């Protein structure tokens, strides 16, 4: 049912879903948490959190010990333009931890009003709002810290965190 809703949301904006990350086992989340807790491991800092210290990733909401992804009700996604065969420019790197990733960076999501802001154009903000509105119309709620992150409003397993072995 979940993936049907995602497909319907994609069709509603006449573009395709791209780089979709859905379900992930709690074991994978636990590994990510261990990485985040190791403040000495900063190899990915220039790419994913250049303006933050790693110890703030939990309190600022970028990483959680329990994730909707493990419930099968959360998806990370961006949009793909079928005509140009390219991802839409959303004004920021997917999985980037920082203010630039917040849906309200460059405007007001409630009114979809763009506010000129260094680091995001009106078109990029509009692309974020297209994704956000499509997902919300089809039963998903957004996350305040990430423009690409949506959770099914009426989750079938809101208090369950599934885990299973992951093989190469």
Residues with catalytic annotation? 146
Contact (CB, 8 A) for 138 and 12:
yes
Tokens 């809101």 correspond to: 158
Give the N- to C-terminal CA distance of the chain in Å, as an integer: 27
Beta bridge partners of 75: 150
What is the torsion angle, in degrees rounded to the nearest 10, for the CA atoms of residue 33, residue 44, residue 39 and residue 20?
A: -20
């Amino acid at each position: 049912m979940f993936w049907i809703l995602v497909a319907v949301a994609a069709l509603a904006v006449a573009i395709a879903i791209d780089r979709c990350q859905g379900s992930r086992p709690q074991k994978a989340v636990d590994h990510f948490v261990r990485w985040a807790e190791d403040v000495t491991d900063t190899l990915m800092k220039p790419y994913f959190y250049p303006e933050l210290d790693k110890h703030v990733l939990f309190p600022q909401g970028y990483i959680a010990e329990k994730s909707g992804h493990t419930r099968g009700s959360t998806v990370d996604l961006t949009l793909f333009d079928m005509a140009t065969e390219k991802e839409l420019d959303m004004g920021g790197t997917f999985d980037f931890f920082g203010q630039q990733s917040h849906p309200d960076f460059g405007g007001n999501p409630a009114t979809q009003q763009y506010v000129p802001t260094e680091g995001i154009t009106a078109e990029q903000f509009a692309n974020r709002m297209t994704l956000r509105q499509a997902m919300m119309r089809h039963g998903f709620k957004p996350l305040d810290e990430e423009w690409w992150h949506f959770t099914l409003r009426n989750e079938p397993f809101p208090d369950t965190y599934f885990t299973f072995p992951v093989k190469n």
